[in-house]
Structure 1
Amino acid sequence: MKKIAVFTSGGDSPGMNACIRAVVRTAIYKGLEVYGISRGYEGMIDGDIKRMHSHSVSNIVQRGGTILKSARSMEFRTPEGRKKAYDNLTKLGIEGIVAIGGDGTFTGAKVFFEEFGIPTIGCPGTIDNDLYGTDYTIGFDTAVNTALEAIDKIRDTAAAHDRIFFIEVMGRDAGFIAVESGIGGGAEFVMVPETKTDLNNVVKSLKNLRKTKTSSIIVVAEGDDEGNAETIMKKVKEKIKDSHKEFKVTTLGHIQRGGNPTARDRVLASRCGMAAVEGLLLGHQYHMAGVMNQEVVYTPFADCIGKTKPLIKDHLKLIEILSI
């Protein structure tokens, strides 16, 4: 293998640039030519592919977002679109790909490999931490700390005004951000997609907590079965019917995607980027490079996108115990 390419796809996550940097410099260190594909699969179809050098990734390890940009591609979902992408890669003699993204990115990579046989190694770039085959994903730690900083500030005003705050964090299908930021932020309740929310129990507990606490923080993952934070707040408010208690909602939204990556995310991204290049040279063909128990592991794409990564059960119990 002499030439490889790297791209980012799907939602951006802090640390993607650190991963790109590691891929480019590891490839050069190993004597490979490396190309950057702009705008993910869309750029692959459009031929937006450029040679990268060591200086191409200077001064980016600390930056959020992705210098290669990201885009969702409907055309890549068609056989014709994938054929265009393949033709553009073969024109440049590209023999291997590093794909930085989440389950959608890896689903596309799996189909692309099955059709055209270009080896692809994935790096887990998503704030959701929902990929099987790695303890943590690139961007998760930064997203949790961003959410935690907001929760700390909201708690100050909640305590000052004796308010109940419902704080919505990202997590359409997974509650990892909600759980870890909830524990770190001392939330009284955390609501996640993985477990059924019992609003009657929440209301009962809030009434009991009023005996010892004047304010409460409830962290809601956007994909909770009872709805988003605004919807849940209205349901709870209707059940409590306390005219003296103020209920507020804060939706953190896309601030969780941005910002300078934490040291943990930069190190994880760098390790995964290096492992991806080494994986291609070792002969891995459609795997994700992750880190489990401090060791680099390679997991087939089929497992990464087909198996559910569970929450740590002790974390949910911890929230219940610490909220009294």
Structure 2
Amino acid sequence: MKKIEKNFINAIYQNFDGIQQSLKESLNRVRTASGNGYRNLFNSNAWGRQYHKLSIEELFFMNLNNDAILAILNVSIYHAIVQNDYRHLLNGVFTYSRLRSLQRAYIPGPGDWIVVESLINNDIALREIEYPKSLDFNTNVFYDTTLLLSGNLLRTILINPDLKTLTLEQYSKFIGEVSSKFDKAFLHYLFGLITEDYTLCQTNFAEMEQLYSRCQWLSSGWYRDANLNKSVPIFLLGLYQLKNTVNIAVEIELENEFLNNTNRFILDNPNYTPQIFNYFDGELGFLNETLTNNFVPFYQDYKIKLDEIKIVTQGKR
């Protein structure tokens, strides 16, 4: 607990009010930029002439900073531990991961790690947005090998078991190129789920728990601004829930106390529906509806506009 307290004190934000104030400042910057030619907005040099097609809210999501989004996850971890109430964690993941999805909507390709996070809450709407059933097998060997293999393994498990043959062939071809011990355990775990190898799943999940803090692209990369995640491996909680989507009964003993407590809450409260971690007020009030009831239609309309802008801007090169 002392380590958790120390890390939390060193975080940029220690409460929701500070996070909300940062988000309001971001919204005001976007509003100001929209009145002066969209200068200083993300990708404004390439897309600026097309930004009139996007609403202020859509531009707001594109220009969100990682630190404010991840602070929601960080604060929710802290409240779950201090209050011994894991609803805070589930609500925090729900809010954070949907914000992250909207923030990264302009980036081509699916959000594999967002999909894993969606498994924590069984956020089917978020998962189907990131992993539509029409998603094809990825053969782009220019990808990072771990991203390439894990993406296709996840797609096979979650949306299209017919990809199994191609996925296993690709796995056999490229797994030897993976040098990181954590990445190997991660990929072996996914491979074990597809091949129904109970022992492989169990052994490699334990490896991931042991090696998590050394995985830079997770603990110091994707989750860098949620510093409590270095000792509370949220990503692994999603991978743990992934085993529930396959046909084999995989029993894995969780060593991490926080993961074990959160999983116990999930098992004891199967009908719990995650909510926004904290309701937004004032000019940010639109987030309450956008992140809940209006999430899917908002995302779909936003994505259509982004794709149209890409087509126009690429055609002018």
Query: Which TM-score band applies after superposition, normalised by the shorter structure?
Result: under 0.3
Q: Which is helix-richer, 1 or 2?
A: 2
- Rg: which structure is higher? 1
**Greater relative CO (CA pairs within 8 A, separation 6+):** 1
TM-score by length of 2: 0.25
Relative to total residues, which structure has the larger strand share, 1 or 2?
1
